[in-house]
Amino acid sequence: MIRLETFIGNYLKRRENVSSPFWIMVRKEISDQIRSWRFIVLLSLIVLTFLGATLVAMGNIREVVSEVKDTDNLFLYLKLLTTTEGSLPPFHVFLSFLGPLLGIGLGFDAINSEQQRGTLIRIMAQPVYRDNFLLSKFVSALILVGVLLLTLTMLMVGSGIILTGILITPEEILRILGYLFVCIVYIGFWLGLSIFLSIRFKQATTSALTGIGIWLFFTVFYQIIVNLTVKSLMPDAYRLSDAALLRYNELAMDLLRLAPSQLYTDATTTLLMPAVRSLGPITMEQMVGAIPSPLPFMQSLMIVWPQVSGLVSVTLALFALSYYLFMRREIRS
């Protein structure tokens, strides 16, 4: 019995010693990010937009409650994230613009700044693996993003309970947690892209401008290019049948879903709005027999599963590419 306890104690000590360098680097990266001015500025922007969108939504709580007759399907806390009066867009729309900036801001100088300051060689001279160093950069930023979004969400839920006295339902908890997961993965995509650019380029300004340029392309110009391309392929719309017009619309939606922002919009809209039953154009025959009621969480998740899996896959692929380049990079130059 004494030997077994000694074996278990020694095993746990070895595991602690093996994993401690990684978590030490994670804590160091978190402390550096929290103290940096860029994180403070980005944090202030996100908090201010969240407070503004939430205050606008809370100002319309009474109207929303009075318009809904079925209190069982009220989804009050989902409406706090989606309701707007027109002056400010909802918070999930704000986050589709600010989330990429947060991801790019946390990772555009993750590697090249370390090499320019000469600290990368010193770190690699220690008994630290390269993969742990790169993974600590990625994990620490995701922890910051997750804590930030979770804190804002809990603040919103707590304020709603205090003002209305209505408790949050398990259905809303599942949908909000799913929404938070999608937000973290979406920001993680841009974080992985910025880390890849910081490995690819030696100057931090070059990686930052390249990341912002890619974000602007997918946010502003990509939709314009897709619409012009589909219109050039489409003959006269007045001569097309309904089936042919539906195929062209589906082609446009499939091309738009190559952009991560469109995947994020589809996923968050479906999770936060239970009344959404489809993400594409549907015919009148498909609407026959449909009951106008909110979908359960699992059915909404099945609708957006391709979008969520696509975001996760491309995020992991970007990090794997960054891992490959960093492991083959000469850090002494």
Say how far apart CA 314 and CA 185 lie, in whole Å. 10
The 10s digit of each residue's pLDDT in 237-288 is: 556 666 666 777 777 788 888 889 888 988 998 888 887 777 765 554 444 4
Say how far apart CA 84 and CA 53 lie, in whole Å. 7
Other C-beta atoms lying within 10 Å of the C-beta of residue 311: 22
Distances from the Cα of 64 to the Cαs of 52, 74, 79, 204, in angstroms?
18, 9, 8, 47
- In this prediction, residues 88-103 reach a mean pLDDT of 84
Statement: residue 333 has pLDDT above 90: no
Of 191, 195, 140, the residue nearest 324 (C-alpha): 195
Task: Tell me the range of 125-134, 242-251, 288-297 where mean pLDDT is highest.
Answer: 125-134
The reported pLDDT for the residue numbered 213 is 92
CA angle 182, 104, 204 (to 5 degrees): 160
Tokens for 103?
Answer: 């991801």
Distances from the Cα of 141 to the Cαs of 103, 136, 187, 247, 250, in angstroms?
8, 8, 10, 41, 36
99, 186 contact by CB (below 8 A): yes
The 10s digit of each residue's pLDDT in 134-150 is: 888 899 999 999 999 99
Statement: residue 2 has pLDDT above 50: no
Which tops the pLDDT comparison, 156 or 311?
Answer: 311
Which tops the pLDDT comparison, 2 or 333?
Answer: 333
The 10s digit of each residue's pLDDT in 74-94 is: 677 888 787 776 667 778 888
Confidence of residue 118 (pLDDT cuts 50, 70, 90): confident
- pTM given for the model: 0.85
- Collect all residues with Cβ–Cβ distance below 8 Å to 50 and sequence separation of at least 6: 91, 94, 152, 156
Statement: residue 61 has pLDDT above 60: yes
